[in-house]
Each structure stands twice: as structure tokens, then as C-alpha cells.
């Protein structure tokens, strides 16, 4: 029975990690497929208000985003604390909105233009004056479909 009397090594055998890349690749592919790249770097505070009568905004390529809110901490020095509009990556004025809408329309295929929606991502502390100005500009540009982007929750939480 000498065959079975091999000297046992006292060291632990190394763990086989050859399947590790497979697992990681699997996760990688999942995230690659599920990813939508962040389009804009926010330069403003953007705490959205709560609402519960919400509709989902599907088809992200058909949405134009307009952000508004107070400039975030590191831009306070140069831009003050008054609420401002952000289009793409830059601060903008109310008068820039029409131009923004036109250029967004330009970049989409013609048959999709009527389905474009404007998503207003506005901080909950912003004054309605600014929001009304934005809406007025959107009406002038005939971008009438809008969506007030919110978080899902009880509306009474807005008063906390």
C-alpha cells in the first residue's frame, strides 16, 4: 500500500484564481450594458423636490435637460449665491435657452423632434420667478412638452 502513503505537504495549496477574470468580466459586461453615461457635470446644487404622481421618462436620447439652482460651494466665489441656470456644462442666462433648444433640435433626427421633452431639474429652494422665466422661454421656442423631474416620495416632505 505504498501508493497511498505519500508524504502530505504541510502547506496549504494555493487557491485557484483562474476563474476570477471570468467572474469580473461577467460583472463588467453587465455594467457596460446597463450604463448610461453621466452627461453633465453639475455646477449647481440640485436637490430635487418630492412628488408621488410621477411618470417615468423613458428614452433618454429624447430628453433635453435644463438645470437650475444655487451655484455649488466652489463656484460661490465667482458666481454668487443667486440661483442660476445650467445648460450642458456651463452656467447660462435665461436668454440662452432658446438657442440651446434650437441646437438640441438640430442634433436630433428630424422625425424625432416632435417627441423631444424638456426635463427641468430644478433645486427645491429655487424661486418660482426663475422657473417662470425658463417656462416663458420654452414657450417662445415652442418646446411645450416639459417634465418637472422629481424624486419619488410624499409631497409633504418638501416642507421639511
Q: Answer yes or no whether residue 15 interacts with other proteins by CB under 8 A.
A: no
Q: Answer yes or no whether residue 98 interacts with other proteins by CB under 8 A.
A: no
1/37 with CB nearer other proteins = 37
Binding part of the chain for other proteins, among 7-15, 30-38, 86-94, 102-110 by CB under 8 A, reads 30-38
In angstroms, give the least distance from the CB of 16 to other proteins. Answer: 12
Question: What are the residues facing 50 on neighbouring strands?
Answer: 151
Write down the residue that cell numbers 504541510 correspond to.
Answer: 10
Return the number of other C-beta atoms located less than 10 Å from residue 86's C-beta.
21
Separation of alpha carbons 78 and 52, rounded Å:
37
In angstroms, give the least distance from the CB of 23 to other proteins. Answer: 9
Q: Which of 43, 45, 63, 70 is in the footprint of other proteins by CB under 8 A?
A: 63
Residue 121's SS3 state is: strand
Torsion of CA 82, 87, 92, 96, to 10 degrees: -130
Closest to 116 (Cα-Cα) out of 94, 101, 132: 101
Kindly list the residues in this chain that would bind other proteins in the complex (CB under 8 A).
17-18, 20-21, 24-25, 27-28, 31-32, 34-38, 49-58, 60, 63, 117, 119, 122-129, 131-132, 135, 138-140, 142-150, 152, 155-156, 158-159
Amino acid at each position: 500500500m505504498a501508493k497511498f502513503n505519500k508524504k502530505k505537504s504541510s502547506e496549504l495549496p494555493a487557491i485557484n484564481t483562474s476563474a476570477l477574470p471570468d467572474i469580473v468580466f461577467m460583472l463588467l459586461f453587465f455594467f457596460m450594458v446597463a450604463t448610461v453615461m453621466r452627461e453633465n457635470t453639475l455646477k449647481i446644487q440640485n436637490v430635487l423636490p418630492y412628488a408621488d404622481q410621477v411618470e417615468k421618462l423613458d428614452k433618454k436620447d429624447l430628453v433635453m435637460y435644463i438645470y437650475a439652482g444655487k451655484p455649488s460651494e466652489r463656484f460661490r466665489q465667482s458666481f454668487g449665491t443667486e440661483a442660476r441656470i445650467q445648460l450642458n456644462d456651463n452656467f447660462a442666462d435665461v436668454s440662452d435657452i432658446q438657442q440651446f433648444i434650437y441646437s438640441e433640435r438640430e442634433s436630433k433626427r428630424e422625425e424625432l423632434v416632435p417627441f423631444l421633452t424638456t426635463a427641468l431639474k430644478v433645486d427645491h429652494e429655487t424661486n418660482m420667478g426663475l422657473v417662470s422665466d425658463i417656462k416663458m422661454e420654452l414657450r417662445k421656442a415652442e418646446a411645450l412638452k416639459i417634465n418637472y423631474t422629481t424624486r419619488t416620495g410624499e409631497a409633504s416632505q418638501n416642507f421639511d
